[in-house]
């Protein structure tokens, strides 16, 4: 069950939001929706999602702009983003990936691919969170990283010579 994983669906069109939402809710995810980029950013700052499904073409603020703001925001930058679009333009897909999106889902979506890409995005998030926890905890005692710069791999640093 995926009940503890939350997904924000961002699309200005109601029907695609409804189709994605229904499909993901049936799979056990907690799903919330935003009908604009501005609303999505506001919601994400209040309670970050585990994954964002972001439509590319929207009025006022398109998916590129939302993605850019997310990647420039310390609170939001590590949330995996899956771009969703009917556009099959590879340049747009490549641009999204270069900007930090983890993948692209075409409209109309295939449920098997949707679930595979969501699981992949969640795995990326887990790896990132684990790395962040390890970074904050620092190196484990006795690990090469804790030995200091003078030690060779697999060795610990010798204490500095004291005057005798």
Contacts of 126 (CB under 8 A, 6+ apart): none
Q: Record the tokens describing residue 56, joined without a space.
A: 């590319």
Residues 162 and 164: their CA atoms lie apart, in Å, by 6
How many distinct structural domains can be found in the chain? 1
In a domain, 149, yes or no: no
Question: Terminus-to-terminus CA distance in the chain, angstroms?
Answer: 65
The answer to whether 34 and 7 are in contact (CB under 8 A) is: no
Largest CA distance in the chain: 80
In a domain, 155, yes or no: no
pLDDT at 157: 46
In a domain, 150, yes or no: no
What average pLDDT does the segment 31-58 reach?
96
What average pLDDT does the segment 58-65 reach?
95
Q: The domain containing residue 99 runs over which residues?
A: 6-139
Residues 37 and 10: their CA atoms lie apart, in Å, by 7
pLDDT in tens, 99-132: 999 999 998 899 999 999 999 999 999 887 887 7
What average pLDDT does the segment 27-52 reach?
96
In a domain, 79, yes or no: yes
For position 25, which CATH number holds? 3.40.50.2300
Rg (CA), the chain: 21
In a domain, 146, yes or no: no
81 bridge partner residues: 52
Residues 112 and 62: their CA atoms lie apart, in Å, by 26
In a domain, 147, yes or no: no
């Amino acid at each position: 069950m995926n009940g503890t994983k939350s997904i924000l669906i961002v699309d200005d069109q109601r029907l695609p939001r409804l189709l994605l939402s229904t499909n993901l809710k049936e799979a056990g995810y907690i799903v919330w929706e935003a009908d604009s980029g501005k609303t999505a950013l506001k919601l994400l700052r209040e309670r970050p999602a585990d994954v964002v499904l972001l439509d590319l073409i929207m009025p006022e603020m398109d998916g590129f702009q939302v993605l850019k703001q997310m990647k420039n925001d310390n609170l939001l930058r590590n949330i995996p983003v899956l771009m969703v679009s009917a556009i099959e333009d590879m340049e747009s897909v490549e641009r999204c990936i270069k900007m930090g999106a983890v993948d692209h889902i075409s409209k109309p979506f295939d449920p098997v691919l949707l679930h595979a890409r969501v699981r992949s995005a969640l795995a990326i998030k887990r790896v990132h969170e684990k790395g962040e926890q390890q970074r904050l905890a620092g190196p484990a005692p006795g690990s090469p990283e804790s030995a200091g710069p003078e030690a060779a791999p697999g060795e610990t640093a010798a204490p500095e010579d004291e005057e005798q």
